[in-house]
Structure 1
Amino acid sequence: MSLRAPLIDGFGRRINYVRLSVTDRCDLRCTYCMSERQTFLPRTSLLSFEEMERLSLFLIDRGVERLRITGGEPLVRKGVLDFLLRLGEQVHNGRLKELTLTTNGTLLAGAVPTLVAAGIGRINVSLDSLDPETYRRITRGGDLTQVLDGIALAQAAGIRIKLNVVVLAEDNRRDIPAIVQFAHARGMDVSLIETMPLGDEIAGREDQFVSVTDVLADLRSFWHVDGVNDATGGPARYYRVAETGGRLGLITPLSHNFCDTCNRVRITCTGQLYMCLGQDDHVDLRAALRDDPTTTALDTALDGALAAKPRAHEFFIAGAGLERPARVHAPARTMSLTGG
């Protein structure tokens, strides 16, 4: 573990968790995440895996304890499995408490042996429907069977799974109870997530918005759902469903601010460090990596980022009783570029 002083932002929050995106590309085109004809970055704009490894080791030395690899879809980038194995060495030697992954699950089955070897004990899988046709429509062509097979193989190998479900008023709200039952019956947690206003070119997303607080009320009409004190420093507020015995997380960036205990920052595949998901301010770590072979420039950039990390994001419902979010702020970048 690092012997250096912990990373503390201007509001006294300790930053020990980084989400590192390895690509903005994805093999799906989820309707709420990107446009059907999404334009991706040229590969020359991305950090190399060697640069990402150097950056990761620097962050661990500065006190980062948890590292989540994201995308886009991280498993579509050639060479990512070798990268994960190298990062896994930091888990095995005790310098990194946890290495995790967020994936859409389409390529999960083939990656399971490597994930286990890298010391990855849990992953998040995005899964917005259990109906093959609905899943295909939301993802614009995805094969649900591939995802379910990958989940089953990962669980059989001892990897814990959490399902991430973006709640969509017109597509899957009525199916949420079935997804919760499916997950809890297989020992998986579920997080329900509100749509977020990231990416100006994504049309019709506001029509799909539903507050997950309203979904919680739906579930409480036939289940006993009680809050639990399972704080992780992350965005979810957790509940236990008595009838299923499983845990349910609510991520409410629009209807309820979750920033008071934020312990994380995000780094894009191009090396841009975003201190807040809902803000545009960022720090260029790529320049610091490439212009200075020592850690001096990285130290300066990271310290500046910590000082500039805002108290809270800015996208939320501005007023009570709104059926849809009134956008106060909407970053132009998509979630696939930011890192999910």
Structure 2
Amino acid sequence: MIKKIGVLTSGGDAPGMNAAISAVIRRSISKGIKPYIIFDGYKGLIENRIEEATLDFASKIIGHGGTAIGSARLPEFKDENVRKKAITTLKSHEIEALVVIGGDGSYQGAEKLTQMGINCIGIPGTIDNDIVSSDYTIGFDTALNTVVRSIDAIRDTMTSHNRCAVVEIMGNGCGDLTLYGATATGCEVISTRENKLTEDEIAEQVSLLAKQKRRSVIVAVAENIYNDVHGLAKKIENKSGYVTRATVLGHVQRGGTPSAMDRYLAINFGIFAVDRLSEGIGGVYIGICDNKFVAKDIESTLNSKPKDKYNEYKIIREINKAF
């Protein structure tokens, strides 16, 4: 049985990360293992910013957004000499295993550390839902609810003034927040990197909706697929006649109190991770597939292909299209 486990968060913060940290701490203590928190991700690991965690700390953070132990990106961690320094730090504290909460980039570091003798397990923490071998990631549900509330609020104003809105939604290359958010709010037009419409196609669709005298139109687009969403709004306005404004939701989607579902997933991910590490298992990620918690090797996780959601886009567009 291992005696000490460390936990860190890496990459972008996500609501529910604190619940996962809390679960790792509490599960470790319940199994007679000393838990340690590492501040600011891999950066804190090489800088030796490590403290033993307490039940009091775990209890205080469970419902908070963000990550109480901080996060930072460290591209230098790709360098083997930098990782050797991290190993030295862990060994100086006699930490035998590590839970890494983050996304793909975080998993790569965890895989390398496992190969160097420190068993690591990855927990998927990202609002983007882009860990393709897990159905859902920590933070996605909370961010999705923020997107839905925001679009609902924008719809109120657009309907009041007979206008169109372009809403840009985060996702970092994954369109799930846009697809799910647009589906839940009845957005008339959807465009993501996986299923992208040209600016002219969007303007034409909105123009057809204007001819139907739709009281309001919402165009949901994923971030970074158009050079200028405000320019896109102007093109829509010129083509359709709708007064059109663009709203970039931005980092409001990252923060906030984690939803019940994100807390539930995070806590169970944390428990599952500690149990696997106590069994001597490393180099795996914890995910949820077909409503079951699973542990899969990190390498296959990093190389998995995204699920094809073409039919999902097709059906949603069919029910929202201009007839």
**What is the TM-score of this pair, normalised by structure 2?**
0.30
Structure (1 or 2) with the larger CA radius of gyration: 2
Higher relative contact order (CA 8 A, sep 6+): 2
**What is the TM-score of this pair, normalised by structure 1?**
0.29
* Structure number with higher helix proportion: 2
